[in-house]
Amino acid sequence: MNLLDIITPECVKAPLDATDKRGAIDELVDLLATHDRISQADVLKEAVWTREQTRTTGIGHGLAIPHGKSEGLNEIVMAIGKPSQPMDFEAIDGQPVRLIVLLASPPDKNSDHIQALARVSRLMTLEDFREKVYEAESGEEIWELLKAHD
């Protein structure tokens, strides 16, 4: 799966305005809505937040991948946000989150959803890439790093 097929440069934001987990999820969903990537922001916010309540998506190494499936989506979409300060996301390693990758898909795209989650996870295991993303100061820088590695 090529991540550049499911994200646009406008859906990468650094820094985020949000200072907490719920705010970050809402801000990233709103970013998708603002750029016409989704049509029902409130439905998606609820789906992602409901999923987040079952188990944290803070997977460690400073990364969180909140995700959800929602009716009204025609395709899988992604938004990336970098908090202005590392954020508590109740990550499994207890460390604050430095990058949030929100993934949303239609309920019938389970395989694509899993492939996208796996692709993001694999990419972020590359320490050199991960550190460059964490050092990036703008959404444009993060986009260029993503383009260079995907």
Q: What is the pLDDT of residue 19?
A: 95
Q: Please tell me the distance from the alpha carbon of residue 143 to that of residue 140, in angstroms, as a whole number.
A: 5
Q: Could you state, in order of their start, the residue ranges of all structural domains in the chain?
A: 3-149
Q: Is the peptide bond before 106 cis (omega within 30 degrees of 0)?
A: no
Question: Which among 121, 118, 148, 119 is positioned nearest to 132, based on CA atoms?
Answer: 148
CATH superfamily of 3-149: Mannitol-specific EII; Chain A (3.40.930.10)
pLDDT digits (tens, 9 = 90+) for 94-109: 999 999 999 999 999 8
pLDDT digits (tens, 9 = 90+) for 25-82: 999 999 999 999 999 999 999 999 999 999 999 999 999 999 999 988 889 999 999 9
Q: What is the pLDDT of residue 113?
A: 87
Number of Cβ atoms within 10 Å of the Cβ of 36: 9
Q: Is residue 1 scored above 80 in pLDDT? A: no
Query: Which tokens belong to 46?
Result: 């609820």
Residues 115-144, mean pLDDT to the nearest whole number: 93
Q: What is the pLDDT of residue 21?
A: 96
